[in-house]
Structure 1
Amino acid sequence: MNAKYGSILMLLLASSTLLNAQKSKSYDLKSPDGNISLHLEAADKLQWSVMHKGQSIIIPSAISLQLESGEVLGDKARIVSAPMQKANATIQAINYKKTSIPDQYNQLTLNCKGDYGVIFRVYNDAVAYRFFTRRKGELVIKAEEAMINFTDDHKAFIPIQWDYRGGQNFNSSFEALYHEIKLSQFPKDSLAFLPLLVDVGQNKKVVLLEADLEDYPGMYVDLNQTGKGFKGVYAPYPLEAQLGGSGGMNLIPSKRADYIAKTTGTRSFPWRALAISEQDKDLLNNDIVQKLAAPSRIADVSWIEAGQAAWDWWSSRTISHVDFKAGNNTQTYKYYIDFAAANHVKYIVIDAGWSDRMDLLKINPALNLQEIVDYGKLKNVGVVIWAYWYAVSQGMDKAFPVYAKMGVKGFKIDFIDRDDQVVVKSLYDIAKLAADNKLLVDYHGAFKPTGLQRTYPNVIGYEGVKGLENFKWANEDQPRYTVSIPFIRMMAGPMDYTSGAFRNVNQANFRPINNLPMAKGTRCNQLAQFVVFEAPFQMLSDNPTTYIKEQECTDFMTKIPATFDETVALDGKVAEYVALARRKGDTWFVGAMTNWTPRELTLDFSFLPSGNYEAEVFKDGLNADRDGTDYKKEVLTISSGAKVPVQLSGGGGWVARIKKVN
């Protein structure tokens, strides 16, 4: 090649590079307080990155939606407009940990050629984005690209899917302890579900979440090719399914499509969110999922009441000192109602066995459900009944009106165990029909909440957590887990952990028992969970006989509300300990818990308005390390601003009910 042609070629290459560079567009968006910076690059790929106070949190990470046609929304995006807006509003919350939520953010919307776009929001404690489309007809989503690239091989708390229902991937109870591992140690051929937490250094934690998940599959993550980040993975759309799995009552897809969703062409897709904290305790009072959720679709919410529920399943209806045979029968549930009424508990739950598993209208002849419900009305105690998701999905059109007319207050719906598009849509459909019939819903055996509880506030419970039921069969480090989930799983919303076990033991004395199960840790740890854990439908897991024998603790436990007007995070470290305060009316409740490490905390009561207060306190007894049931009750005088030392036994707790005296 001679010099003349070489120069021409170099000029053409330079012009091409310049042309490509001109096609790339970048955008920047900051949080209202200026601490979080979001940077976007729109070129061949649409990539986002995040900084917090100058520290790089997320390095360029690609996002896109691939359609069945082959079109990729986000690749080579041609930006038509990029308007910015600010929001500073207040959300009035229903059955939540606070009554009002400040909703302040800055937003950038990329409107792209092709009738689609992406919305980005930056809050003072979180970053989120979502795709939207404005097209006619139907869209088939082949795949979604959601990369989250971190700067280093950080330590993380990751719930790895393990209990494959029916032996199939994407079928799970969504219950797992956290793998506390480096990102690069993510197990091969595994998936993790959200939320999960990453320690990004400088005391900062990042929690990955999704919100407003409607008519779309939930997001799992796998390690991406960088070895220092995640990629989104989604259950393919189910084409055929068969009963199988746990007890033969899971609906297990036997054939899946090569796409993840078939949906309307004009819609918004789920939010992908990162919550960022400088102190672990800040995660205890983060509202990002509530902020991103769709507003309530129920005009009249006056009939929706949160509350505690006496529950039969955990202790296998094992009651004693009664003149009838305990079991799945009318006398047993009247006894539960009597207990609930005497202790001002709003509900009882009738768990599995009251009806045919497949046909909700076939009631077990051993009990008279109408008589039980009517007896509950006389005692001002509502009755909630359990059902398999499959039976509900097949029979709710007939069953919901029947049981609503009977006076049943709601359904606890179990063994959902999937989060593909079909199931996610089903949970919205169930919530809507239940609301139409003024029925409450508690989703058990379900994936994590993503805001449905705001959109349909009659959904007052969610499992998606490795709850107390596991003590019936597993010997695991639950005390560490119970001081991990408030910073991770509870970020997504309420969790039906089913607290309240009164057979409390240390690790050496624990053994799995089915009918009268034990719980690891102390009595005061269990009591503190009623304050720490967010649960608008709060189960009392143990049986009435046990609670009556321990009336002093029962009286305290049943005075703790299921929802609150205000929450204040006091102290905490992920997997180590947690302490927070919640207010209902003019009464404050404070709960603190630790893992197996005994420790002393100093709680700062500056959150109290000025004045003097009386605190009814339950704390670990001096011998709680040997006998978990050992506790001490005392009454303290506390003034606003007081610094109170709190001693926690291994697996222990401390809990207080505080009223102003002058």
Structure 2
Amino acid sequence: MIKKFLYLLMPVIIPAALAAQTEVVSPDKQIRIVCNIDTVGDKQVTYEVFYKGKQFLLPSPMGFQFSGGPILQSFFKITGVKKQAHRGSWKPVYGEKEVYPENYNEITIALVEKILPQRQLNIVFRAYDEGIAFRYEFPQQAATKPFTIQREMTGFQFTPGAMVWEEYGHEGLYNKVPAPEIKFNCELPLTVISADSIYAAIAEGGVSNYPKAYVQKGGGRTNNGMISISLRGEAKGAGGYVTNWRMITMGDRPGDLLEKNYLLLNLNKPGVIKETGWIKPGKAMRDNQLSTINSKKLIDYAQVHGINYIILDANWYGPPNGEDSDPSKINVVDGKGKSMPNHPGLDIKEIVAYGKSKGVGIFLYVNRQGLERYMDRIFPLYESWGIKGIKPGFVNVGTQEWQQWTEDLVRKAAQHHLMVDIHDAYRPTGLSRTYPNLITQEGVHGNEQSPDADHNTKLPFVRFTIGAADYTPGYCRSNLKNTWTHRLALPILYYSPGQFLFWNETLGECHERPELALWREVPVTWDDTKVLQGEIGEYAVIARRKGNDWYVGGITNHESRTITINCSFLKPGASYEATIYTDDANAQNVNIAQRKVDASTVLICPLLASGGVAIQIKATSINNNQSR
């Protein structure tokens, strides 16, 4: 990735000390992490987290349980402390902001057991302005031969009264429950609100050679508000091994969690792809008929309507789960895996050439079985065909082996100039900073399940706290439960550099509706993002900037409400023309109105139940002497 850094590194080595408590504070002094070693009893290591002077986490456990070895959690002493600070920023290939700040203070605490076998463990804590992160390191040492971690004993001991939004299964629904009531294998991210109204999102970043984490209740010294990490299988390691980062984004309101979600990216390595000009985020449509004729029709529509890609989805090379299906050969079948004698034919090379002449690229779906068997063969083949990207489906996720396999998939795709949109269970851990060809992923209860407005108003503050999700917004299907304008606003609210629109829809009269001019122009990546207002499961209003223009999306749950949009986010002294899309009184059509706006404008927007508002704000004059 392109980088723009201002570094201030201040490593300080503190000799081994007798102090049983060590802390690190964020650069803005608002977040504090305290690491403790019990001075009595079994000398367990714990950590606490404070936000703006209020305690968010009570002393919470740390450590590991190994296969064939004693638990590594107790009888520690501190042998050294290393402190350093980082001040800087970096410019992504694409993102929700033009530049991401990266400021933190870090402390590495070196521990050793006082009892045999005197194993060593380092814990690295980082206090960012946006939240906290920590991970474990296993130094090279005689006492630690190759090992197998059966359980990570990290816990999160909330202060009493904490509530969480639980979700199970990678495409599940979210429910607000008391923290002690969550069950086994609750998915991350986990959004939390404390009794003191501290909002937080627990997640994991920097995932590579380590199992996926879930959370579950219990595991601590009390049963009040304690949750703990549950790994998807064992982790095998040796000296020099490091775990994933455990991360907590923190804020005063739900919108802070989305605005600060770049914290996840900051926990990953900088980009390794030297030339990134071929990575071009964009909007896409699906060819669900899988024919040359239909793909060309879609390409013609795409060229006129601002769509950048067409995807040939499942069944273009045979049944996706078939033992004999080969994704290097065309073999179109129906949804039941049966051949279609009267199919009009599919010629991918012809489609690619036609798309190229119209400025439209082609993506291909490949199921996990095809990737597991043929990855090294099909990636160079697709590159030779001129394919722009792939959509891996139903990839195995979670275990140490499959986590590493997924990273290898993205890395190998980059070697052949293929963008990637991973579907089904995969969720972001920040890998797209290192490999920006990973433009998006699913891992969300999205449009294909026809979710209601209550669910949609939760997503910005739960799933999107860790980055992009391929929600696959639809517009014309009769089973969609929300109003026209609610649907229209979703590509503004839901960030996805690969925005797959009109999912499972066949071109028809609906796709020429006048309000879809907004989808023709709406960007998929942004220079700035501001959550103007919102409450989880009630409503959300988000403003995003591209260049000098702004887009605002607002949605409400099953209740009607009136929202007030203060346009103070606009550049002072500049003039703008706003196109405002709202539902008519009967939710049968979309009203389109235009008006002049500036930074002093206040817009009053009544929303129907399950409704929304979408606004395009185009600059007409900009005073470059004024700062935005």
* TM-score when normalising by structure 2: 0.87
- Is 1:45–1:75's contact at 8 Å kept on the other side of the alignment? yes
Q: 1:165 — aligned with what?
A: none
| 3-state SS, counterpart of residue 397 of structure 2 | coil
- Say whether 1:350 aligns with 2:309: no
Q: 1:184 — aligned with what?
A: 180
- Say whether 1:263 aligns with 2:237: yes
After the TM superposition, list the runs of 4 or more consecutive aligned residues in structure 1 that deviate by more than 6 angstroms: none
| 3-state SS, counterpart of residue 424 of structure 1 | helix
* CA distance in 1: counterparts of 2:475 and 2:26, whole angstroms: 43
| 3-state SS, counterpart of residue 349 of structure 2 | helix
Q: 1:119 — aligned with what?
A: 124
* CA distance in 2: counterparts of 1:372 and 1:487, whole angstroms: 39
Amino acid at match of 2:532: L
- Is 1:339–1:544's contact at 8 Å kept on the other side of the alignment? no
* CA distance in 2: counterparts of 1:547 and 1:539, whole angstroms: 19
- Say whether 1:150 aligns with 2:158: yes
* CA distance in 2: counterparts of 1:268 and 1:308, whole angstroms: 37
* CA distance in 2: counterparts of 1:268 and 1:329, whole angstroms: 48
CA displacement, residues 288-316 of structure 1 (integer Å, 9 cap, x when unaligned): 1111122112111111000000123xxxx
Q: CA deviation at 1:203?
A: 2.7
* CA distance in 2: counterparts of 1:391 and 1:588, whole angstroms: 42
Q: 2:97 — aligned with what?
A: 98
Q: CA deviation at 1:553?
A: 2.2
- Is 1:614–1:660's contact at 8 Å kept on the other side of the alignment? yes
Q: CA deviation at 1:412?
A: 0.3
Over the residues paired in the alignment, what is the CA RMSD in angstroms? 1.9
CA displacement, residues 182-201 of structure 1 (integer Å, 9 cap, x when unaligned): 123334xx320101112102
* CA distance in 2: counterparts of 1:334 and 1:364, whole angstroms: 19
* CA distance in 1: counterparts of 2:75 and 2:245, whole angstroms: 22
Amino acid at match of 1:622: A
Q: 1:640 — aligned with what?
A: 599
Q: CA deviation at 1:85?
A: 1.8
* CA distance in 2: counterparts of 1:438 and 1:191, whole angstroms: 36
Q: 2:285 — aligned with what?
A: 310
* CA distance in 1: counterparts of 2:443 and 2:208, whole angstroms: 17
- Alpha-carbon distance change, 547 to 110 in structure 1, aligned in 2, over 3 angstroms: farther
- Is 1:393–1:426's contact at 8 Å kept on the other side of the alignment? no
* CA distance in 2: counterparts of 1:301 and 1:635, whole angstroms: 38
Please list, as runs of the form range in 1=range in 2, the aligned pairs for 1:549-560 lying within 5 A after superposition.
549-560=511-522
CA displacement, residues 228-271 of structure 1 (integer Å, 9 cap, x when unaligned): 121111122xxxxxxxxxxxxxxxxxxxxxxx112353243111
- Is 2:200–2:257's contact at 8 Å kept on the other side of the alignment? no
- Is 1:336–1:544's contact at 8 Å kept on the other side of the alignment? no
* CA distance in 2: counterparts of 1:200 and 1:486, whole angstroms: 19
- Alpha-carbon distance change, 404 to 263 in structure 1, aligned in 2, over 3 angstroms: farther
Q: 2:21 — aligned with what?
A: 26
- Is 1:393–1:430's contact at 8 Å kept on the other side of the alignment? no
Please list, as runs of the form range in 1=range in 2, the aligned pairs for 1:443-454 lying within 5 A after superposition.
443-454=422-433
What is the aligned-residue identity percentage? Answer: 29
| 3-state SS, counterpart of residue 83 of structure 1 | strand
Match for residue 282 of structure 1 among 249, 256, 261: 256
Amino acid at match of 1:652: G
* CA distance in 1: counterparts of 2:428 and 2:47, whole angstroms: 26
Q: CA deviation at 1:72?
A: 4.5
Q: CA deviation at 1:457?
A: 0.5
Please list, as runs of the form range in 1=range in 2, the aligned pairs for 1:210-229 lying within 5 A after superposition.
210-225=204-219, 226-229=223-226
Structure 2 unmatched ranges of 5 or more:
1-16, 113-118, 333-344, 622-628
- Alpha-carbon distance change, 334 to 263 in structure 1, aligned in 2, over 3 angstroms: farther
Amino acid at match of 1:27: T
Q: 2:473 — aligned with what?
A: 499
Q: CA deviation at 1:148?
A: 0.5
Q: CA deviation at 1:332?
A: 1.2
- Say whether 1:481 aligns with 2:444: no
Amino acid at match of 1:491: T
- Say whether 1:468 aligns with 2:429: no
Please list, as runs of the form range in 1=range in 2, the aligned pairs for 1:389-400 lying within 5 A after superposition.
389-400=368-379
* CA distance in 2: counterparts of 1:196 and 1:124, whole angstroms: 20
- Say whether 1:129 aligns with 2:129: no
- Is 1:417–1:445's contact at 8 Å kept on the other side of the alignment? no
Amino acid at match of 1:126: G
Match for residue 294 of structure 1 among 263, 269, 272: 269
Amino acid at match of 1:361: S
Q: 1:523 — aligned with what?
A: 484
Q: 1:168 — aligned with what?
A: none
| 3-state SS, counterpart of residue 130 of structure 1 | strand
Q: 2:532 — aligned with what?
A: 570
- Say whether 1:198 aligns with 2:161: no
Q: CA deviation at 1:369?
A: 1.3
- Is 1:382–1:408's contact at 8 Å kept on the other side of the alignment? yes
Q: 2:500 — aligned with what?
A: 539
Q: 2:335 — aligned with what?
A: none
Q: CA deviation at 1:544?
A: 5.6
CA displacement, residues 478-536 of structure 1 (integer Å, 9 cap, x when unaligned): 21111111111111110000113234xxxxxxxxxxxxx52111111111111111100
- Say whether 1:581 aligns with 2:547: no
Match for residue 233 of structure 1 among 202, 211, 230: 230
| 3-state SS, counterpart of residue 154 of structure 2 | strand
* CA distance in 1: counterparts of 2:188 and 2:245, whole angstroms: 13
Amino acid at match of 1:584: K
- Is 1:24–1:41's contact at 8 Å kept on the other side of the alignment? no
Please list, as runs of the form range in 1=range in 2, the aligned pairs for 1:5-44 lying within 5 A after superposition.
25-43=20-38, 44=43
Please list, as runs of the form range in 1=range in 2, the aligned pairs for 1:589-628 lying within 5 A after superposition.
589-610=551-572, 611-624=574-587, 627=588
Q: CA deviation at 1:116?
A: 3.7
* CA distance in 1: counterparts of 2:317 and 2:419, whole angstroms: 18
Q: 2:115 — aligned with what?
A: none
* CA distance in 1: counterparts of 2:396 and 2:595, whole angstroms: 46
CA displacement, residues 394-435 of structure 1 (integer Å, 9 cap, x when unaligned): 211001101110111111011125311121111100001000
| 3-state SS, counterpart of residue 192 of structure 1 | coil
Amino acid at match of 2:330: I
* CA distance in 2: counterparts of 1:293 and 1:130, whole angstroms: 12
CA displacement, residues 331-350 of structure 1 (integer Å, 9 cap, x when unaligned): 11111111111212110111
* CA distance in 1: counterparts of 2:377 and 2:511, whole angstroms: 42
| 3-state SS, counterpart of residue 449 of structure 1 | coil
Q: CA deviation at 1:382?
A: 0.5
CA displacement, residues 338-381 of structure 1 (integer Å, 9 cap, x when unaligned): 11112121101111111133321221163111111111111111
| 3-state SS, counterpart of residue 274 of structure 2 | coil
- Is 1:296–1:456's contact at 8 Å kept on the other side of the alignment? yes
- Which piece of structure 1 moves more, 294-303 or 427-436? 294-303
Amino acid at match of 1:423: W
- Say whether 1:407 aligns with 2:386: yes
Q: 2:6 — aligned with what?
A: none
Amino acid at match of 2:179: L
- Alpha-carbon distance change, 631 to 417 in structure 1, aligned in 2, over 3 angstroms: farther
